[in-house]
Structures are given as C-alpha cells and as structure tokens.
Structure 1
Amino acid sequence: MSQPSAQPSQTAARPAGNVLLVVAWMTGTLLSFSTVAVSIRELSGSIGVFDILALRNIAGIIILVGVAIAYPSLREGFRPRRMGLHLQRNVIHFFGQYAWALGVTLLPLAMVFAIEFTTPAWVALFAFLLLGEKLTAPRLIAIALGFIGILVILRPAPGSLDPTGLIVLGAAICFALTTIATKRLTGTESTFAILLWMNVMQLPMNYLGADKLFFLQIPDLPILPLIGICVGGLSAHFCLTNAYRHGDAVIVVPLDFLRLPLIALIGWLLYTEPLDPFIFAGGALILIGILQNLRAERRRNLAARAARVTMKEE
C-alpha cells in the first residue's frame, strides 16, 4: 500500500519531535497495515480482489465525506484542482494496489511486506530519472542494497523463480511512481484532498473489474475483515501522516519496518507460514540502504540550512 503524504526517501530538516507521539502514531500504522493485509486474505475466499478494493473505496468516500461534514474546513478538498496529476497518480496507484492485494492472497505476508519496502529505493531512482534530482552515493547504495535484498528474498534460480514475487515488485515500483506524483501534489493539495480523489477516481476503475453485484454479498461477508478493509486503509495513511508530522523520517522508517516482523508473526500464527530467515535478511539489507540514505539526506539538509543562516548573518 502506498503512503500518500509520507515520503520516506526524503528527510527534511525538522525537529526530532515528540518520540512518544511518533511511537503512538506508528503503532496505529503497524496495526492498520497488518489489519488490511489479513482482511484481504480473509475476504479473498468470498469475493475477488477488485471487489475488495471497490468496497474499500466506497467506505473511504463515506468516511471522508462524514469527516468533512463534521469539519467544514476540510471541504476545500472537494474542489477539483490539478485533476490531470490526480488522475495520473491514481491510475498508477490503482495498478500498484491491485498487484499488492493480489500478492497478499498468493504469497506469504512477510514476503509481500519485505518486497514493498524497496519502494524508497525506487523513489530515489525515479526522482533521478523523472525529476532530475541528483543521484548521490547514498542513494546509489540504497538502490543497490534494495536490489540485493530482493535477490536474497526471492532467491531466483533457473526455473524456480515465483512470478508472483515479481508482481509485488511491480507494486513497489508503482508505489514509488505514486510517491513522486504525491510529492508534486502536496505542494498545493491537502492530505484529505489526495485521499478523497484517490477513492473517487479508483472506485470506477475497481468496479470495472469487480463482480457488478458484489455489494449484494456484503451481508454474508465476515464482519471483522469487512470492517478491517473499510477502516484500515484510511487509518493507516492517517496514522503514518501524523507520525511524519511529529518526527523525522530517520525515526519513523525504522518503526515502520517493524511491520515486517509483526506481519511475519501474524502469518505464522494465523496461516502457519514459515518464519523464513532469508526474508528477514533481505529486509535488513533494504532497511540499511534506506537508513544510510536518510541520514545522509538529513546531514545535507542541515548543512544547507546552516549555510543559509550564515549567509543571512553576513
């Protein structure tokens, strides 16, 4: 799942923030993402992936409209602005969401989450290719370790590579492109507007692939997974956004990475999925690459800010 307003490949020069608040918001994030994955797995036995994602969009629209009724200041998000960029972002995100959800139904949950964590490395690569940002040594290291981590997780061998893993890798690439588009949108659009138009635009896309009468099956669906998919997606983005609001990416990303052992434990307990050490080893390599890049970006941003202050004083 993408993260519309959180961009872990970047590190702004900001205060460390309240660590306890960051931990609290990240706890909500971890539980929300894990809930969504388990809910998709549980619902996939009754309805298709497109049906599940369409239900999520419908619930998202209802919740967001309800929030806007309660908080009139958010209604600015209903105003159609930069629709071309919204559409571009949401078409890419639609493919990423479907690939990720399909992976959840076919692969061990820990493998899906580990592959998804390559997204920041892809962001660094696409920021260079599409935005002309400098491809620094730390970013190159992050990309290289991300690629090596994927090889460790998938362990490709002639005739033995599971193509489903490549589907989830495609989801990570889509999420990276989505992050690039989100970066451009956040200059003028609120998180509320991005989430609103995400659900409004992706609902007809998912409905085209869904069973047109899937909503008639809602009374027969298990209630907890149904609530999980309807609420978990929005709460994950909301919690993650607030975590970044209160703390630096260098703090948030390692906490976000706890999703991997958490979902591995859930997969082991609920679905008897093996605790594969290669998934953890590959995930650790990916995390090391991301963290060293974040620290380098933070040092560079702090140095640039100090230089600007010095110039003003002179």
Structure 2
Amino acid sequence: MLNLPAAASSTPAALPRRAVLLMVASTVCFGSMAVLIRIASKQLHPFEIAFLRSFFGALAALPLLWRNGLATLHTDRIGFYVVRCAIGAVAMLAGFWAIAHLPLAQAIALSYSSPLFVTIGAVIFLGELVRRRRWSAVIAGFIGVLVIVRPGTDGFTAASLVALFSALCSGAVTISIKFLARRDPPDTIVVLTTWLWVPLSLPAAVLVWQWPTADLLPLLIALGMLGTAGQYLWTHALKLAEASTLAPLSYLQLVFVSVLAWWLFNETPDEWTVAGAAIVIGASFYIARREAKLARERILRERIEGEPQI
C-alpha cells in the first residue's frame, strides 16, 4: 500500500469522522484484495496476478484523470517515480507471492513490520535522529517478527522471509513518498504509481503467463479496482488526520482478513502469530505516535523561532 505523511494534525478525541470512514473503507479494500489474491492464486501465478491487479487498477484510476485533467500527470520528478515504483513493484510481487504461500493472517501480520524498516531507513537515508525509545520499539518489533517466523523450528518457512522482504521494500517506498508528497498532490501520486506499475510488473508476469479463464476475469477486475480504491481512500484519509492517529484503524485489516481466512479457507491463526502480531503492531504504533509527537514539537519550535523578537 501507499504510505503518505499526514497533511493535517489531530488528536484521537478530535479525529474527523470522515477520516475514520475513509480509513476503515481502505482497510476493507486492502483486506478483500488479499483474500481475492489467495483465491486467484489457485489458478494463476502470483506474479501474473500482480500484473493484472496493476492493469485493472490503472483502468480504475482513469476517473481521477478525467476529473482533474492532464494536470494530474504533471511532475518534475518522473525519474524518482520510476525508481520508487520499481521498488514498489518488487514489494508487490513479493507480497502477492507471500499471500499465496502463507496463512493469510501471518502474511498480513508480517507486512506490519514495514514501519520498523522505515525507522532504520530514515536514519540511514534521511539523517533523522532516532533516540533510545524508538530504537527500543524497533528491537521489540523485530522480536515480534521472530515470534511469528520462528526460525529454526518446524513452523519456519522460506515464504515468511519473502513477506519480510516485501515489508522491507514497502518501507523504502514509504521513505521515498516523504519526498514526493512535499510537492505532488495525492491524486498525482496514485495515478502515476498505478500506471507505472503496469510496465514494471509485466516482465515477471510474462515468465509465468497463462490466460485466465472467463470465470476468473471478474475477480481479477475486482482485485484491481479494490487496490486502486484502497490507495485513494487511504491517501485522502491522511489528508484529514495524522497517520499515527489513524494507525489503529489500519490494523483492523488483520482482524478482517483473519475472519475471512477462517470462514473461506478454514485458517485459524496460531498462538505464535497472534502473539507476534501483537508485539509488531504495538511497536509500529508506538513508532508512529512518537514520530508524530516529535514532528509537532519540531513545527512548534520552528514557528516560535520564526516569530519576530520584540
């Protein structure tokens, strides 16, 4: 999914109702998409599913272009978009493969480790200062990952490493969007990202291509539409409230997917996945809250320093 920094400040008590509705709707879209990926993977390779999701998702993004005109495509950072989308395409391919080969709840739980990689990347690439409390949260988060993955036991599978690799790439995408969102509006980011994913995901799909059956086609179209709708709803929710405030709502995706996985595939998360997911989500939530608090303090300090001295 697309990760954008929030453009507005809020507190849980003042959380706009529209932001809540948009965020919950986006989690339903992304959760439903994960279930459809699992269903489609019974007939098609995950790489082909990723391409078809991109293709139909690009078509679903056309109304944004129709509404806003060609100005939606304007950016002076197209090269940066290509690099960012290439990393995003790798994250998508790996994530789809993990969903096809792991219990759904475990695949989604591991995807929540992305903020841990974002924190590390922000130190390396953005020069951000991370102090003891956030580093403690990162360490706790990776302990949660180890609880889910359980290396050295019979419960360990290579597919869990693929899911972690997808989370790492998603973290890199999040860092890149911090640059893009400073100058480009959300609709531009959604449209360009969705369209660039089509050619970037095609080579992997060609290697495993087989024509989908007629009965599977509506599901693939729905998958693409859900992906684009989820991105649109998510980015616009973040225009109304801080990501740290909305984070608990995004974690509802794990509950939603777990219920559907139990109902449709008779999958029940084991105690290790539940315990590890709780640790990872708790650590990620703390990191988001801490970063938001520091950002507010930084903005307030800059305003005070910018005021004329009397």
TM-score (norm 1): 0.88
* Partner residue, 2:236: 242
Aligned 8 A contact 2:53 2:221 in 1: no
1:54 correspondence with 2:48? no
* Partner residue, 1:204: 199
1:213 CA drift (Å): 10
Which residue, out of 277, 298, 307, partners 1:304? 298
Show the 5 A alignment for 1:85-234. 85-157=80-152, 161-211=156-206, 217=212, 219-221=214-216, 223=218, 225-234=219-228
Structure 2 unaligned runs (5+)? none
Flag the 1:159–1:276 CA change in 2: closer, same or farther, 3 A. Answer: closer
* Partner residue, 1:21: 18
RMSD: 2.4
Q: Which runs of 4+ in 1 moved over 4 A?
A: 211-216
1:12 CA drift (Å): 7.1
Flag the 1:155–1:218 CA change in 2: closer, same or farther, 3 A. Answer: same
Flag the 1:213–1:110 CA change in 2: closer, same or farther, 3 A. Answer: closer
Moved more, 139-148 or 53-62: 53-62
Aligned 8 A contact 1:35 1:228 in 2: no
> 2:9 is paired with a residue of what secondary structure?
coil
C-alpha distance in structure 2 between counterparts of 1:157 and 1:212, whole Å = 33
1:264 correspondence with 2:258? yes
> 2:183 is paired with a residue of what secondary structure?
coil
TM-score (norm 2): 0.90
Aligned 8 A contact 1:77 1:189 in 2: no
**How many residues were matched structurally?**
306
Which residue, out of 61, 72, 76, partners 1:64? 61
> 2:61 is paired with a residue of what secondary structure?
helix
C-alpha distance in structure 2 between counterparts of 1:82 and 1:26, whole Å = 28
> 1:231-276 CA deviation, whole Å, 9 max, x = no partner?
1111111111122222222321111111112211111111011232
> 1:78-99 CA deviation, whole Å, 9 max, x = no partner?
2353122111111111111001
* Partner residue, 1:251: 245
Flag the 1:296–1:57 CA change in 2: closer, same or farther, 3 A. Answer: closer
> 1:245 is paired with a residue of what secondary structure?
coil
> 1:6-50 CA deviation, whole Å, 9 max, x = no partner?
24xxx7771335442222112211110111111111111222222
Which residue, out of 30, 39, 49, partners 2:36? 39
Structure 1 unaligned runs (5+)? none
Give the residue type in structure 1 aligned to 2:80: L
Aligned 8 A contact 2:47 2:97 in 1: no
Identity rate, percent: 24
1:308 CA drift (Å): 3.9
C-alpha distance in structure 1 between counterparts of 2:53 and 2:235, whole Å = 19
* Partner residue, 2:267: 273
